[in-house]
Amino acid sequence: MMTVKLNQPTALRLEQLRAKGFADADILAHLRSGDLAPFQQALGEDVEFTALLDSYHANPEDFAQALANGYELSFISIFGVKNLLNARYGLVAGRDYPDSDESLEDIQLSLEGANWLKSTLSKNWRVLDLDKTAESGNACVAVKHATHINGGVL
């Protein structure tokens, strides 16, 4: 089974909804019915859901598969990575890890969270293990653009 690719705005909105307590089945039901009022109540009236709706309507089966089995981002910027870490884990650049516009260091995640980040970020990013403490279930990782490692080869 091939991993479904989602764009940055879709993934960010999806993770924001999950963080607000929406189950994947509820997200699908609201997208199917077009009733976005609960989403707007949770995230704010001014929040845009166009990318999420477009992604769902383009291929509902693939979208459901992405929710159930995970997804890979087709592209994400460093700012998108920061937003994704905030949406999914509540991590804030400058508070929970050093803020930088080029790479991210010393991000504390569970081993599961580190694996999710590795499988989800687009191919232009690498998640590097800085420290794994398997007995505690934690990992310290860095996120670097692929051109900044391996001699600049993607």
For the chain, what percent of residues have pLDDT higher than 90? 86
- What are the tens digits of pLDDT across the range 8-27? 999 999 999 999 999 999 99
23 and 54 co-located in one domain = yes
66 and 107 co-located in one domain = no
Q: At what angle do helices 24-33 and 8-19 cross, to 10 degrees?
A: 120
Give all strands (DSSP E) within 3-124, no chain letters: 4-6, 71-73, 103-110
Name the domain count of the chain. 2
**Cα of 23 vs its chain's centroid, Å:** 16
47 and 82 co-located in one domain = no
- For residue 60, what pLDDT is reported? 98
Side-chain-side CA neighbours of 141 within 13 Å: the count stands at 20
- Boundary-marking domain end, from 27, 53, 73: 73
- What are the tens digits of pLDDT across the range 84-113? 999 999 999 999 999 999 999 999 999 999
Please give the residue range of the domain that contains residue 40. 4-73
24 and 68 co-located in one domain = yes
